[in-house]
Amino acid sequence: MTETWERFSELARELDDLSSAIKLLHWDQEVMMPRKGGPSRARALASLQAIAHKRLTDPELGDLLEGLSVDDSLALDQAASVRIMKRDYDKATKVPESLVRELAELEATSYQVWTQAKPANDFSMLHPYLSKMIDLKKQQADAIGWEKERYDALLDEFEPEMKTSEVESMFSELGEALIPLVDKIIDGAGECPEFVSREFDPQIQESFCRWLVRSLGYDMEAGRLDTSPHPFTMQVAPGDVRQTTRADAHGIMMSIYAAIHETGHALYEQNLPEAWAGMPVYQVPSLGLHESQSRLWENQIGRSRGFSNFIFRELRNRFPEQLSDVDEEIYYRGAIHPQRSLIRVTADEVTYNLHVGLRFELEVALFRDELDVQDLPGAWNEKMEHWLGIVPPSDTEGVLQDMHWSIGALGYFPTYSLGTMYGAAFYEKAKKDIPSLEDGLSDGRVEPLAEWLGEHVYSHAYLYPGPELGERILGEPLSPGPFIDYLRTKFGDAYNLSW
Amino acid sequence: MTETWERFSELARELDDLSSAIKLLHWDQEVMMPRKGGPSRARALASLQAIAHKRLTDPELGDLLEGLSVDDSLALDQAASVRIMKRDYDKATKVPESLVRELAELEATSYQVWTQAKPANDFSMLHPYLSKMIDLKKQQADAIGWEKERYDALLDEFEPEMKTSEVESMFSELGEALIPLVDKIIDGAGECPEFVSREFDPQIQESFCRWLVRSLGYDMEAGRLDTSPHPFTMQVAPGDVRQTTRADAHGIMMSIYAAIHETGHALYEQNLPEAWAGMPVYQVPSLGLHESQSRLWENQIGRSRGFSNFIFRELRNRFPEQLSDVDEEIYYRGAIHPQRSLIRVTADEVTYNLHVGLRFELEVALFRDELDVQDLPGAWNEKMEHWLGIVPPSDTEGVLQDMHWSIGALGYFPTYSLGTMYGAAFYEKAKKDIPSLEDGLSDGRVEPLAEWLGEHVYSHAYLYPGPELGERILGEPLSPGPFIDYLRTKFGDAYNLSW
């Protein structure tokens, strides 16, 4: 069996190397590439992806996976790599190439149409493309296969082994608890401190972010911090996990919390077990788990009273003029300020998951044939009124705001909220395990948490599928309880609310 | 035949895409990659190179090339692409894989040994590796095949179709004319102006270089200018030609002339005919021709009296304090100052080719079995005395100074001097074609030259092998005459010398 494993391992590493090259081409495209390099880059990416697809669907790999799947002499991490690769192989071989191509073309066209439909506030432009997208996505789901319902196959792309019914019951519980909470918290919050929208030199913001991500334990020798229009994190390869940030001159909060958010993602990738580098097990099991780390660091740490004091002291050193009349309390209120808003990407931690729940419900309804694409704008607005108590004045600020559906990312949105819930649950567990966890936060001492996450989360990499890993870490299945408790405690304390 | 061509063209483009990814991995490694990404990057590069090698040596490609090589219905550029690819295919299939691997391993080890032998001033450390290198390179040359002598096969790697005997007679003519010239020029030059080694803020130098490369016509939308320890230019892909520079705080000349030099390379790559992008004909035919452009821009333009006035005016705006007591004449003398020196990379344009001639003679002697590796240090010093009139006090500053031999780059050095000679000859031709060529240089007007080069050099890409292209452009075979004439005129004027 050793020989089979060796050969499998060789093919897996080669696929990983190809994927690493593809990721670098993408990173470079977003961050470094000159404009006129665009057409050549698109061609190079297409060629590399075709080569990778051919290797992934090679019958030799299929045979190796067949044999290794029933080999019980494999170590836990080896068995996991086989299971993960088999998943990828099965998906890649089950979906017909013609459908893959059709989807790729539609995604490109539909995205282009979206970029015009959104500013034009014209959903009817996007409608035919979105209808076609839902149709092709149904075909894709059917090709891959599903048991209880079609949407399971879509969700499984981003959150392996998670089922629609589980997510549905979590969102229902979340919504029930959240809607009344939001009312009370927003009433208690009052006006947002005005300093947050003063002018802050973007270059100083960037160097501040550099200090900040280092303070959080991000290893600059195994990564980079650059700027890009949309902040993101990418593991180019083991030992090379890059993040980007963006600084807006008319405000200070975005760059700070985007940097903490991305650092949460990056710490996960930088601390996967080195011994497994290059193999399928060396990865984060799901987008929800990935997001658990960005949310936890951004909100539970970055927007804690203790750590926000730590941030504020350094920030005032760098912006003495802009912050001369701001103190720790005002800064904290600026950092956590909640409000009802129309746009998901700029929503605060209290209301954010309402935006996501709405999208999840609409997606599920589309795939259960309970909603037609042409009725999306109306359904969107109704749900906005129900979940957030406000109605968008236009589709630009409503159903057209996100690009996700136009690029075929259906089943993706719920992972944002799964991340929120995982993050809060992990943090609650860590505080139980280490009662002094928050003691050093106002001095920037995050090592105890980093160690806890290293041991309980990062060290497993993809040994288990997401839901199983979550339950192993928490000792119980994921639920919205810890997140709701966290909001009650935090905002109760901040605004003197009693529940 | 159309179908054969289509398939060939598809395979060629795919190879080009792979090569583009490999180049980006290299560029990123030199300029962006965090330190800890090194091991993964080495693995990714090895995998991609193996994939590319496999595709290049695919018998399907061999069959297509066989057919297309005798197809006289192909257009000129198509026939050139077939010829170039066939060259690569033949070389790749003729050299046994075991030898390729052995060479790759020896190159890596031998380079490591060189990094220790050089500071230790200990040639005996490198000796066994270099002997082995010469041995393997002989095997490689024999596998590829040669007619008159083995060194032809080595030279052909970098300067296709150029023969050792031609280069030998050019160096002999060059040496004969150059040695007495050097004596007289260096006597006339006197002391180097002291300002060149003052302190200049590297950041201001970098922004000056940005201005400078733009002034020379480098398209920033189709490239980037970054910093790296060794300045270089890389065509990542059509529309994406990147260069790097390096600024040393203790001097101003290096960053300026390295930037002009690299821009010369970059302009060639940025102005190849777009219609051929992705095909083998879309490339510079040889290293010598590539170097012709860097040398021409660096020396004939950058170190001309006119253009150096243009440089100086802007430089003084940016460094008013450091240059308060410097005028145009002093700046020019600083820019062209020649001296006898031990180190090739920092040598001036008058003495540079003597350093190269020495290396070429030693390489040829090694491959003609007229010199043994153990006698290299002594032979080096003798030739230094003959060519440059000075003897290195140590092997560190002598035979161990360059990394080239340790990494197996044998046959590479002469391309530097071929570049010098081509550059001078092209420039002489351009001046004949456009008598007013130099009129606007002191205002930075380089467009007439850029247009001439576009029409006479860049537009051909690799339609013809180097020697044929050179002769087409010049109307006669390459000779050292124009370079010698250029030195006589320039330094005669500068130092009031009569010949």
Q: Are strands B225-227 and B233-237 parallel, antiparallel or unpaired?
A: unpaired
Instruction: Give the closest-approach CA distance of B282 to chain A in angstroms.
Output: 13
Catalytic residues of B: 262
Interface of A with B (CB under 8 A): 13-14, 17-18, 20-21, 24-25, 28, 32-41, 43-44, 46-48, 51, 219-224, 236-240, 242, 277-278
Q: What is the pLDDT of residue A229?
A: 87
CB contact under 8 A, B28 and A25: no
- Say yes or no to pLDDT of A279 above 70: yes
Tokens read off for B85:
């690819």
Residue-wise pLDDT for A311-363, tens only, equals 999 999 999 999 999 999 999 999 999 999 999 998 999 999 999 999 999 99
CB contact under 8 A, A239 and B21: no
CB contact under 8 A, B40 and A240: yes
Q: What is the pLDDT of residue A1?
A: 58
Residue B1 — pLDDT band, cuts 50, 70, 90? low
Task: Considering only the beta carbons, identify the residue of A24, A44, A223 that sits closest to B34.
Answer: A223
Neighbour count for residue A436 (Cβ, 10 Å): 9
C-alpha angle A289-A212-A32 in degrees, rounded to nearest 5: 80
Are the C-beta atoms of residues B337 and B189 closer than 8 Å to each other? Answer: yes
Residue-wise pLDDT for A40-99, tens only, equals 999 999 999 999 999 999 999 999 999 999 999 999 999 999 999 999 999 999 999 899
CB contact under 8 A, B21 and A25: yes
Task: Considering only the beta carbons, identify the residue of B24, B221, B239 that sits closest to A39.
Answer: B239
CB contact under 8 A, A37 and B222: yes
Which residues partner with B235 through β-bridges? B241
Residue-wise pLDDT for B307-317, tens only, equals 999 999 999 99
CB contact under 8 A, B17 and A219: no
Contacts of B39 in chain A (CB under 8 A): 238-239
What amino acid is encoded at A192 in this protein?
C
Q: What is the pLDDT of residue B2?
A: 86
Tokens read off for B37:
């990404």
Separation in Å, CA A117 to CA A131, A393, A402, B306 = 15, 16, 11, 55
State the first-to-last Cα distance of chain A, in angstroms, to the nearest integer.
61
Residue A139 — pLDDT band, cuts 50, 70, 90? very high
User: What's the helix, strand, coil split of chain B in %, to 5?
Assistant: 70, 5, 30
Establish whether A262 is a catalytic residue: yes
Task: Considering only the beta carbons, identify the residue of B32, B39, B219 that sits closest to A239.
Answer: B39
pTM over 0.80: yes
A vs B: CB pairs below 8 A: 117
- Token match 């006339």: residue? B188
How far apart CA B486 and CA B469 sit, in angstroms, is 22
Q: What is the pLDDT of residue A215?
A: 98
CB within 8 A of A231, min separation 6: which ones?
A: A243, A244, A245, A246, A258, A259, A261, A262
Are the C-beta atoms of residues B69 and B86 closer than 8 Å to each other? Answer: yes
Instruction: Give the closest-approach CA distance of B45 to chain A in angstroms.
Output: 8
- Say yes or no to pLDDT of B229 above 90: no
Q: Which of A262, A269, A349, A363 is catalytic?
A: A262
How far apart CA A25 and CA A35 sit, in angstroms, is 14
How far apart CA B359 and CA B156 sit, in angstroms, is 17
Q: What is the dihedral of CA A204, A209, A215, A219, to 10 degrees?
A: -120
Are the C-beta atoms of residues A280 and A274 closer than 8 Å to each other? Answer: no
Tokens read off for A287:
């987008």
Cα–Cα nearest to A55, from A87, A26, A30, A88 = A88
C-beta pairs of A205-209 under 8 Å, 24+ apart in sequence? A205/A247, A205/A252, A205/A255, A205/A256, A206/A245, A206/A247, A206/A255, A207/A318, A208/A255, A208/A256, A208/A314, A208/A315, A208/A318, A209/A245, A209/A247, A209/A255, A209/A256, A209/A259
Task: Considering only the beta carbons, identify the residue of B13, B44, B221 that sits closest to A21.
Answer: B44
Q: In a mutagenesis test of the A interface, which of B11, B26, B43, B276 is the best target, namely the one with the most A β-carbons within 10 Å?
A: B43
Contacts of B54 in chain A (CB under 8 A): none
CATH for the A124-499 domain, from 1.10.1370.30, 3.40.50.150, 3.90.1150.10, 3.40.50.720: 1.10.1370.30
User: Span B466-493, mean pLDDT?
Assistant: 97
CB contact under 8 A, B51 and A48: no
Q: In a mutagenesis test of the A interface, which of B31, B45, B47, B227 is the best target, namely the one with the most A β-carbons within 10 Å?
A: B47
Percent of chain B with pLDDT over 70: 100
H helix or E strand, kind and range, residue B10: helix B2-31
Q: What is the pLDDT of residue A97?
A: 87
Average pLDDT of chain A, as a whole number: 96
CB contact under 8 A, B39 and A14: no
How far apart CA A360 and CA A288 sit, in angstroms, is 14
Q: What are phi and psi of A461, to 5 degrees?
A: 45, -125
Cα–Cα nearest to B155, from B45, B311, B286 = B286
Are the C-beta atoms of residues B300 and B281 closer than 8 Å to each other? Answer: no
CB contact under 8 A, A34 and B237: no
CB contact under 8 A, A36 and B222: yes
Instruction: Give the closest-approach CA distance of B426 to chain A in angstroms.
Output: 29
Contacts of B225 in chain A (CB under 8 A): none
Distance of CA B107 to the CA centre of its chain: 20
Q: Which residue of B has its CA nearest to A38?
A: B239
Task: Considering only the beta carbons, identify the residue of B34, B220, B237 that sits closest to A40.
Answer: B237
Neighbour count for residue A462 (Cβ, 10 Å): 24
- Say yes or no to pLDDT of B54 above 80: yes
How far apart CA B427 and CA B432 sit, in angstroms, is 9
Residue A108 — pLDDT band, cuts 50, 70, 90? confident
Residue-wise pLDDT for B352-384, tens only, equals 999 999 999 999 999 999 999 999 999 999 999
Q: In a mutagenesis test of the A interface, which of B13, B18, B235, B240 is the best target, namely the one with the most A β-carbons within 10 Å?
A: B240
Cα–Cα nearest to A196, from A310, A301, A326, A300 = A326
How far apart CA B174 and CA B420 sit, in angstroms, is 11
Residue B206 — pLDDT band, cuts 50, 70, 90? very high
Residue-wise pLDDT for A414-469, tens only, equals 999 999 999 999 999 999 999 999 999 999 999 999 999 999 999 999 999 999 99
State the first-to-last Cα distance of chain B, in angstroms, to the nearest integer.
61
CB contact under 8 A, A237 and B40: yes
Q: What is the pLDDT of residue B188?
A: 95
User: Span A220-241, mean pLDDT?
Assistant: 96
Q: What is the pLDDT of residue A273?
A: 98
Q: Which residues of B33-60 are buried (b: 16+ CB within 10 A; e: fewer)?
A: bbebbeebbebbbebbeebbeebbbeee
Which residues partner with B227 through β-bridges? B245
Domain extents in chain B: 2-94, 125-499
Are the C-beta atoms of residues A186 and A390 closer than 8 Å to each other? Answer: no
Instruction: Give the closest-approach CA distance of B240 to chain A in angstroms.
Output: 5
Residue B499 — pLDDT band, cuts 50, 70, 90? confident
Distance of CA A401 to the CA centre of its chain: 18
Residue B101 — pLDDT band, cuts 50, 70, 90? confident
Tokens read off for B236:
């990542």
- Token match 């894709």: residue? A140
Q: What is the pLDDT of residue A2?
A: 86
Helix (H, G, I), strand (E, B) or coil at B225: strand
Tokens read off for B19:
């090569």
How far apart CA A33 and CA B28 sit, in angstroms, is 11
CA atoms within 13 A on the CB side of B376: 25
How far apart CA B110 and CA B112 sit, in angstroms, is 5
Instruction: Give the closest-approach CA distance of B210 to chain A in angstroms.
Output: 15
> Does domain B125-499 match CATH 3.30.70.100?
no
Task: Considering only the beta carbons, identify the residue of A24, A36, A220 that sits closest to B25.
Answer: A24
Q: In a mutagenesis test of the A interface, which of B13, B30, B31, B41 is the best target, namely the one with the most A β-carbons within 10 Å?
A: B41
Q: In a mutagenesis test of the A interface, which of B10, B20, B226 is the best target, namely the one with the most A β-carbons within 10 Å?
A: B20
- Say yes or no to pLDDT of B454 above 70: yes
Does residue B375 come out as left (phi exceeding 0), alpha (psi in the -120 to 50 range) or beta? alpha
SS3 string, chain A, reads CHHHHHHHHHHHHHHHHHHHHHHHHHHHHHHCCCHHHHHHHHHHHHHHHHHHHHHHCCHHHHHHHHHHHCCCCCCHHHHHHHHHHHHHHHHHHHCCHHHHHHHHHHHHHHHHHHHHHHHHCCHHHHHHHHHHHHHHHHHHHHHHCCCCCHHHHHHHHHCCCCCHHHHHHHHHHHHHHHHHHHHHHHHHHCCCCHHHHCCCCHHHHHHHHHHHHHHCCCCHHHCCEEECCCCCEEEEECCEEEEEECCCCCCCHHHHHHHHHHHHHHHHHHCCCHHHCCCCCCCCCCHHHHHHHHHHHHHHHCCCHHHHHHHHHHHHHHCCCCCCCCCHHHHHHHHHCCCCCCCCCCCCCCCHHHHHHHHHHHHHHHHCCCCCHHHHHHHHHHHHHHHHCCCCCCCCCCCCCCCHHHHCCCCCCHHHHHHHHHHHHHHHHHHHHCCCCCCCHHHCCCHHHHHHHHHHCHHHCCCCCHHHHHHHHHCCCCCCHHHHHHHHHHHHHHHCCCC
